[in-house]
Amino acid sequence: MAFDYVVVGGGTAGCVLASRLSQDPDVQVLLLEAGGATRPAAMADPMRWTFLVGTEVDWAYETVPQPGAGGAICSWPRGKVLGGSSSINAVMHTRGHRDSYDAWADAGATGWDYPTMLPFLKRIERAVDAPDSRYRGMNGPMIVAQGEVAHPLWEGAVEAAVEVGHPGATDLNNGLEEGVGWSEYNVVDGVRQSAADAYLVPGLERPNLAVVTGAQARRLLLDGGRCSGVEYTKDGELRTASAERQVVLAAGAIGSPQLLLLSGIGPAAQLREAGVDVAADLAGVGEGLHDHPMTTVGYRTTRPVRAAAFVRKPHVRLRSDPADPIDLHLIFSDSPAPSTGTPGAGDGYAMRVALMTPFSRGSVRLNPADPEGAPLIDPNYLAEERDVERMVVGVRRAREVGEAKAFSPWRDRELLPGPDVRDAAACREYVRRSVTTYFHPVGTCRIGVDDGAVVDPELRVRGVEGLRVADASVMPMIVSANTNATTLAIAERAAVLMTGNP
């Protein structure tokens, strides 16, 4: 069947694109999603997101062994359902500091600086608790608000951060501030709001929008240098969908480069090694993978701290060096250890320490032994020693907050890294053996104008007509925040670039 637009991937970006493109009743839009249409009950509860990991709504990827992390193989959950990872994540809605977006433009992503991105960051949100509409959206589809109820532990966390020198921020999502402030979430009346809930569901009755779930894209159809459609499987049957105008990939930092590679678009030598005919020798496809590496500083408490309701929690944005951009994020958690199986964990609180601006880069490549199977995912964690050094600074800053007087009524003892991990060498070793994902892969189809870029500043795949990529994979550098909000904004801007309609 012929469509005007075929969108591959019904995740965060794909839901935005399908919704915006189908607003024009004169175009036919197809959205292909590999996951199913049924969503488990736990998905609605924002407090049960960890129960979704490893289920049918998770691609359940794993990395290759990580030399910088002692050879560890890291679990990499990614959403396999309408709404994608916005349907299984921790529902945080955070934007990067303006420096993040300005760095994109400085790196060659012309027109992707903060002033250009701000209208799209505003367009996505209805910010219930935001104090300033100059920087925050008030009429968008995504409800953005702080937690439902207060908790004295987290009030104490704000006091602790201020006590050790972090400024109190009015709004950490305005792109200008740093310090400690209240996190915001995509939760409505205690229920998760995914990109599918906000964007896709309201338009499902449009006669010009077709949504096909259980549809695994296998390759792009190429005709004389132009992408003319997509080949996919549904219920074991091989099908094709043609695109009169454009195909747009929104399958994320893993799925989008994998589909390009399977279609013969990528580094020629790698394609030949995997037995794939070369259609376009594009060196950057699958390269540049990076994530926010994360570790934990955790404390056992003298009493239970977990609440039955979805409480509001703070987070801290800071700099490892005052002269550098914001590069560290402290996220408060009521679980003192990254695994409930940690001996002696019990009740407690923790700060997840995430490096916002890693220098280490990895890749997504086809597995030559099984090109259509799970790809070889290598974030190359902590390959750069300066990443380790800055995370050690983050551990030290987290300890300062965790040991502050304001936490005294709650604090029992430190569990992680533990009292024996104090000197710099021990802290570096702890960071390497404890590092894990913050679930934010980006960069494998980056925007740019150099030979290593995959898409140009209008998100068109270089050397292939009729094909765009519009998801987290196009970020030249990861933003200093959780990536879902920025991915929504990328898709909003992509829809404008594709249609010309503001």
Q: Are residues 408 and 374 in the same domain?
A: no
Q: Are residues 369 and 481 in the same domain?
A: yes
Q: State the pLDDT at residue 338.
A: 80
341 pLDDT above the threshold of 60: no
Assess if residue 254 is contained within a domain.
Answer: yes
458-482: average pLDDT: 98
Q: State the pLDDT at residue 38.
A: 80
Give the tokens for residue 266: 């990528």
Q: State the pLDDT at residue 147.
A: 84
CA-closest candidate to residue 258, choices 5, 454, 492? 454
Assess if residue 480 is contained within a domain.
Answer: yes
- Identify the bridge partners of residue 72 per DSSP, sorted by sequence position: 66
344 pLDDT above the threshold of 90: no
Boundary-marking domain end, from 434, 457, 473: 434
For the annotated catalytic residues, the residue numbers are: 440
- State pLDDT tens for residues 223-244: 989 999 999 999 999 999 999 9
Assess if residue 141 is contained within a domain.
Answer: no
- State pLDDT tens for residues 283-339: 999 999 999 999 999 999 999 888 878 899 999 999 999 999 999 999 999 888 786
Q: Considering its fold, how many domains does the chain have in total?
A: 2
Assess if residue 105 is contained within a domain.
Answer: yes
Q: Are residues 406 and 421 in the same domain?
A: yes
Q: Are residues 376 and 482 in the same domain?
A: yes
Which amino acid is present at 292?
H
Q: Assign 219 to helix, strand or coil.
A: strand
Q: State the pLDDT at residue 411.
A: 96
- State pLDDT tens for residues 346-358: 789 999 999 999 9
pTM higher than 0.75, yes or no? yes
Assess if residue 188 is contained within a domain.
Answer: no
Assess if residue 14 is contained within a domain.
Answer: yes
Q: Are residues 158 and 232 in the same domain?
A: no
User: What long-range pairs does 74-77 form, CB within 8 A, spacing at least 24?
Assistant: 74/379, 74/381, 74/436, 74/437, 75/437, 76/254, 76/377, 76/437, 76/439, 76/441, 77/52, 77/53, 77/439
Q: Are 342 and 418 in contact (CB under 8 A)?
A: no
Spatial neighbors of 65 by CB under 8 A, at least 6 apart, are 71, 72, 73
Q: State the pLDDT at residue 292.
A: 98
Domain that holds residue 313: 148-182+293-355+382-434
Please say whether the dihedral angle defined by the alpha carbons of residues 378, 255, 374 and 266, taken in this order, is positive or negative: negative
87-111: average pLDDT: 96
User: Between 152-163 and 385-402, two packed helices, what is the crossing angle to 10 degrees?
Assistant: 120
Q: Are residues 394 and 374 in the same domain?
A: no
Q: Are residues 99 and 53 in the same domain?
A: yes
Assess if residue 120 is contained within a domain.
Answer: no
Say how far apart CA 421 and CA 395 lie, in whole Å.
Answer: 11
Q: Are residues 163 and 204 in the same domain?
A: no
pLDDT mean across residues, the chain: 95
Q: Are residues 457 and 492 in the same domain?
A: yes
35 pLDDT above the threshold of 70: yes
- Identify the bridge partners of residue 216 per DSSP, sorted by sequence position: 233
Assess if residue 128 is contained within a domain.
Answer: no
Name the percent of the chain lying above pLDDT 70.
99
CATH number at 319 reads 3.30.410.40
Q: Are residues 155 and 232 in the same domain?
A: no
CATH number at 34 reads 3.50.50.60
Which amino acid is present at 220?
L
Q: Are 442 and 253 in contact (CB under 8 A)?
A: yes
- Distance (Å) of CA 488 to CA 11, 60, 235, 340: 10, 23, 30, 32
Helix ranges, 373-416 (H): 385-402
Q: Are residues 264 and 309 in the same domain?
A: no
Q: Are residues 14 and 95 in the same domain?
A: yes
194-212: average pLDDT: 97
What is the residue whose two structure tokens read 């990499």? 76
Q: Are 292 and 90 in contact (CB under 8 A)?
A: no
Give the tokens for residue 91: 């529902």
